[in-house]
Amino acid sequence: MADTIKVDQTLDCKGLLCPMPVIRTKQAIDKMAVGQVLEMISTDPGSVADMMAWSKRTGHELLEHRQGNGLFQFYIRKTK
Amino acid sequence: MSTILDKSLNDLIEAKVKEILDQRVEALVAEKLKKEKDSRRKRLAIAVVSKGTFEAAYAALILATTAAAMDMEVGVYFSFFGLNILKKGNQDSLKVVPLGNPAMPVAMPNIVSVLPGMTAFATLMMKREIKKKKIATVPELMQIALETGVKLWPCQMAMDMFNLKKEDLIDGLPDPVGAATFLEYAGEADITLFI
């Protein structure tokens, strides 16, 4: 499915640990337009649960997350 | 006789109507309050009081910046030794204290921890690890907290006690406040933490 998602911006959080992937994601989303999709890539295994919690709390939609080769990819649509 | 009856009947009706109205209004107000509470931003209140150490600063600032990133409203109250974290130029000089700390990564008996330089040594080791692992630093987290609208309140009484002026603290802080101000804020919080 991710192949069909149109990504407007990619955020590289590789190597960053908690809480930076969440904070950088929020900073990036704030600068985007409603409806746009952010791709965030991290190497922190904790970011999977963290991004789900973040999406639930903020209301920005986590369209999909994938993992492989030590990378975690998140696709987030800005909703407001 | 009949007027007395009428009057008591009227009183009875009035009392009943009042009772029903009161119940209805109460239910409506409760419903409205619940709606407001559900729709408003969650609020986190943290009191950093007991320690002005490296790990206290981390705990407070990581939770505060993350809460702000989750669209929460955040207020952190720094009192007693916690005020140390807000001192100008101090964010990079906070210490890891090995003395009496049974959880140091490299076990250190208290008889060794007590030697001069051991606190500086433990701090240096921790900072090296943080740099190596690209963990955010205290100055970085502090900067993010200020940029994302986290309120970092200095405690007025602690400032007086330690002879600190507003100029002695980092820029961008709100005015120092007292316990009542923080408690009023914390009273409306969804999460309250003590560090």
d(CA B49, CA B161): 14
B157 touches A: beta carbon within 8 Å: no
Q: Do B69 and A19 touch (CB under 8 A)?
A: yes
Question: Do A55 and A26 touch, CB atoms closer than 8 A?
Answer: no
Closest chain A CA to residue B68: A23
pLDDT computed for residue B23 by the predictor:
94
Written as one string, the DSSP assignment of chain B is: -HHHHHHHHHHHHHHHHHHHHHHHHHHHHHHHHHHHHHHSPPEEEEEE-S--SHHHHHHHHHHHHHHHHTT-EEEEEE-GGGGGGGBTT-TT------TT-TT-SS---HHHHTSTTHHHHHHHHHHHHHHHTTPPPHHHHHHHHHHTT-EEEEBHHHHHHTT--GGGBPTTPPPPB-HHHHHHHHHT-SEEEE-
Q: Which residues of B touch A25 (CB under 8 A)?
A: 69
Residue B2, pLDDT score: 67
Mean pLDDT by 10 residues, chain B (195 residues): 78 92 94 81 87 92 96 95 92 88 84 89 91 92 95 94 94 93 93 94
Chain A hits for B67, CB-CB cut-off 8 Å, are: none
Average pLDDT over every residue of A12-29: 94
Cβ-based neighbour number of residue A51 at 10 Å: 22
Whether B119 contacts B96, CB under 8 Å: yes
| Cα–Cα dist A22/A1, whole Å | 23
ipTM score: 0.86
pLDDT of A7 above 90: yes
> CB–CB of A23 and B133 under 8 A?
no
Domain boundaries, chain B: 1-40, 41-92+137-194
CB–CB contact A22 B72 (8 Å)? no
Total of domains in chain A? 1
Residue A3: predicted pLDDT? 64
CA distance to partner chain A, nearest, from residue B11 (Å): 52
* Helix ranges, A4-46 (H): 20-30
Task: Compare all CA atoms of chain A with the CA of B137 and give the residue at the minimum distance.
Answer: A20
Is A15 in Cβ contact with B65 (below 8 Å)? no
Q: Which residues of A touch B62 (CB under 8 A)?
A: 18-19
Amino acid at B121: F
Q: Which of chain A's residues have a Cβ under 8 Å away from the Cβ of B42?
A: 57
pLDDT at A55: 94
- What residues of A are annotated to the active site? 18
Which of A17, A23, A59 is opposite residue B66, by nearest beta carbon? Answer: A23
Q: How large is the C-alpha radius of gyration of chain B?
A: 26
Q: Which residues of A touch B72 (CB under 8 A)?
A: 57
Interface probe, candidates B70, B132, B135, chain A, greatest A C-beta count within 10 A? B70
Find the closest chain B residue to A17 by CA distance: B135
Q: Identify the CATH number of the domain in which residue A43 sits.
A: 3.30.110.40
| Contacts (Cβ under 8 Å, ≥6 apart) of A52 | A62
* Residue bearing tokens 């107000």: B29
Give the C-alpha separation, B99 to B82, whole Å.
Answer: 19
Cα-to-chain-centroid distance, residue B22? 38
Instruction: Quote the pTM value.
Output: 0.81
A54-78: pLDDT as tens digits: 999 999 999 999 999 999 999 999 9
Residue B35 has a pLDDT of 83
**Is B135 touching A (CB cutoff 8 A)?**
yes
B70–A22 C-beta distance less than 8 A: yes
User: Which CATH number does the domain B41-92+137-194 belong to among 3.40.50.10490, 3.40.1260.10, 3.40.50.1100, 3.40.630.10?
Assistant: 3.40.1260.10
The string of pLDDT tens digits covering residues A29-56 is: 999 999 999 999 999 999 999 999 999 9
